[in-house]
Amino acid sequence: MSTFDYDLFVIGGGSGGVRAARVAAGEAGAKVALAEEDRYGGTCVIRGCVPKKLMVFASSYGGMVEEATHYGWDLLNKGFDWTTFSGHLNKELDRLEDVYRKLLAGSGVTTYDARARVKDPHTVELSSGETFTAKHILIASGGRPIRPDLPNAHLGIVSDDIFHMESLPKSMLIIGGGYIACEFACILAGLGVEVTQYYRGAQILRGFDEEARGLIADSMRELGVDLHTGTNIVGMDCYRGEDDEGMDAPVEVTQYAMPAKDGPKDGPLKVKATNGDVKVFDQVLFATGRRPNSDDMGLEEAGVTLGRGGAIEVDEYSQTKVPSIYAIGDVTDRVNLTPVAIREGMAFVETVFHGNPTPVDHTLIPSAVFTQPELGTVGLTEEQARDQEPIEVYCTSFRPMQSAFADKHGRVLMKLIVSQESRKVLGCHIVAPGAGEMIQMAGIAIKMGATKEDFDRTVAVHPTMSEEIVTMRKPMRTA
């Protein structure tokens, strides 16, 4: 008989934590508990992937109506109703959270709606005052968006707040150039918001393929996003109207009367940029990074090592320096994607409860950026690959049939990076509508080690955009 209250105590009810808890209890027969201080489903289901993708769908219909006129349809576009959409969105998120709760209950997992801290290597203390012991503790507490160290930054919002807006602002400034910033810039522009985006770097989407980044930046500008690279903000304050000494007056960088604890303010907000521009926006969104949720959890006191930014340091089996404590998902800041957290949770159960040490392979993970058009990517970028070995680059960019017929200027990109020596496809990058769907299939072939000749032997599906992936015969360049 175990001397512990539970075989496993999971801290965090997101996708990774829930999967680990369910499998450990339902398949391995472990006695499992899980504590979640907010909503079950975590960032992905409640504050990230799912509601964001539904917003992507919503933002795309306006363009479809316009395009449909070129195909002979006479449709009436009365505009977007945020109240209607957000009502349906909240109902869907409630439904999904209920699904997560039922899955846990059906697997025999005991759940606690409370914040949990690690008291020692085998003890968890809840905000309710309850204390439980566990043979193993799994930290799956995820991450959160952060604001920059800037006076009055509390006046703006972060990505979590987007889904709780009572109404759409007429204008919004988005600070940042990562995938979250770019996705919301496209979404909000598609919903009719006047979007301005500032990014301090030379090009958006740092870390992705250079050619793909450039095409997406061009596409965003065509969509109506006023994108400024090499630009940041130096200060912001509440705009006080016409008596605010004019737009050329310097922006106050002292704390405004509203204390930080009161949270974001519905605009207007006056912002000064590094390029000297002073503008007023109804709202400012900071998409300037995320931080692991490891603060005030008693981890370091228990012996767990925290790395840069508060990330929990783990080995290839997700084990911390404390043998009884493991961590998965965004709180480890390895590959911050929901499917990766789920894989890590499954591998944890296989390692700990089935006695089969299973590391997670973090290489060749397909991913998508849901800009308009989307970016699908797997493997090495051209820049990464050419630093590694001699390569061939197969690439084509064109106007797809559907857009060309409607006299739209948007282009798509199909790109393969190939090793000259092994002929293996080292990377695939697609910028196109539905690129996320395409890259999932390409990812299978590349994970299997497919060569360029394997792609060449595959018969094309015509007429499609993706057929170009298997019909490019001559390299565009070598490096």
Q: How far is CA 252 from the centre of its chain?
A: 33
pLDDT of residue 186: 98
- Whether residue 45 lies inside any domain: the answer is yes
Q: What is the pLDDT of residues 154-166, one digit of tens each?
A: 999 999 999 999 9
Whether residue 3 is predicted with pLDDT greater than 70 in this model: the reply is yes
- Give me the chain's average pLDDT, please: 94
Tell whether 269 and 344 lie within a shared domain: no
Contacts of 109 (CB under 8 A, 6+ apart): 21, 22, 25, 32, 33, 34
**Cα 199 to Cα 167: distance, rounded to the nearest angstrom:** 25
pLDDT of residue 453: 98
Q: How far is CA 464 from the centre of its chain?
A: 28
φ and ψ at 353, to 5 degrees?
A: -105, -15
Residues facing residue 120 across a β-bridge:
123
Confidence of residue 245 (pLDDT cuts 50, 70, 90): low
Tell whether 408 and 455 lie within a shared domain: yes
Using DSSP, state whether 363 is helix, strand or coil: coil
Whether residue 254 is predicted with pLDDT greater than 50 in this model: the reply is no
Tell whether 275 and 168 lie within a shared domain: yes
Whether residue 429 is predicted with pLDDT greater than 50 in this model: the reply is yes
- Whether residue 199 lies inside any domain: the answer is yes
Mean pLDDT over 64-89 rounds to 91
Q: Is the CA virtual torsion 219, 220, 221, 224 positive or negative?
A: positive
pTM comes to 0.93
Confidence of residue 262 (pLDDT cuts 50, 70, 90): low
Q: Which of 139, 143, 144 is nearest to 328 (CA)?
A: 139
Residues with active-site annotation? 462
Q: What is the pLDDT of residues 338-354, one digit of tens each?
A: 999 999 999 999 999 99
Tell whether 222 and 342 lie within a shared domain: no
17, 345 Cβ separation under 8 angstroms: yes
Residues facing residue 292 across a β-bridge:
143
**Cα 137 to Cα 215: distance, rounded to the nearest angstrom:** 45
- Whether residue 118 lies inside any domain: the answer is yes
Tell whether 338 and 253 lie within a shared domain: no
Q: Look at 68-82, 109-123, 300-314 and tell me which has the smallest mean pLDDT.
A: 68-82
Could you count the other beta carbons within 10 Å of the beta carbon of residue 303? 15
- Whether residue 1 lies inside any domain: the answer is no
Mean pLDDT over 125-135 rounds to 98
Tell whether 160 and 254 lie within a shared domain: yes
**Cα 187 to Cα 55: distance, rounded to the nearest angstrom:** 7
Tell whether 23 and 112 lie within a shared domain: yes
**Cα 462 to Cα 447: distance, rounded to the nearest angstrom:** 25
- Pairing between strand 233-238 and 143-145? unpaired
Domain stop point among 313, 331, 353: 353
**Cα 418 to Cα 422: distance, rounded to the nearest angstrom:** 8
pLDDT of residue 293: 98
- Whether residue 251 lies inside any domain: the answer is yes
By residue range, what is the domain housing residue 334?
A: 6-144+291-353
Mean pLDDT over 245-258 rounds to 43
Mean pLDDT over 236-255 rounds to 62
Whether residue 68 is predicted with pLDDT greater than 80 in this model: the reply is yes
Mean pLDDT over 363-368 rounds to 98
Domain stop point among 308, 327, 353: 353
Q: Which helix (H) or strand (E) holds 438?
A: helix 435-447
CATH number at residue 106: 3.50.50.60
Q: Rg (Cα) of the chain, in Å, rounded? A: 24
Contacts by 125-133 with C-beta closer than 8 Å and gap 24+? 125/298, 126/35, 127/37, 132/5, 132/6, 132/9, 132/33, 133/3, 133/4, 133/5, 133/6
**Cα 406 to Cα 402: distance, rounded to the nearest angstrom:** 7
- Whether residue 360 lies inside any domain: the answer is no
- Whether residue 358 lies inside any domain: the answer is no
CATH number at residue 388: 3.30.390.30
- Whether residue 441 lies inside any domain: the answer is yes
Tell whether 37 and 102 lie within a shared domain: yes
More confident residue, 62 or 310: 310
φ and ψ at 156, to 5 degrees?
A: -90, 180
Mean pLDDT over 450-473 rounds to 97
Whether residue 458 is predicted with pLDDT greater than 90 in this model: the reply is yes
Domain stop point among 327, 353, 379: 353
102, 95 Cβ separation under 8 angstroms: no
pLDDT of residue 251: 47
Tell whether 213 and 280 lie within a shared domain: yes
Domain count, the chain: 3
Q: Look at 11-20, 225-234, 400-409 and tell me which has the smallest mean pLDDT.
A: 400-409
Confidence of residue 408 (pLDDT cuts 50, 70, 90): confident
Whether residue 241 is predicted with pLDDT greater than 80 in this model: the reply is no
**Cα 83 to Cα 94: distance, rounded to the nearest angstrom:** 17
Tell whether 256 and 303 lie within a shared domain: no
Tell whether 45 and 98 lie within a shared domain: yes
Q: What is the pLDDT of residues 192-235, one digit of tens each?
A: 999 999 999 999 999 999 999 999 999 999 999 999 999 999 99
Tell whether 99 and 61 lie within a shared domain: yes
pLDDT of residue 78: 83
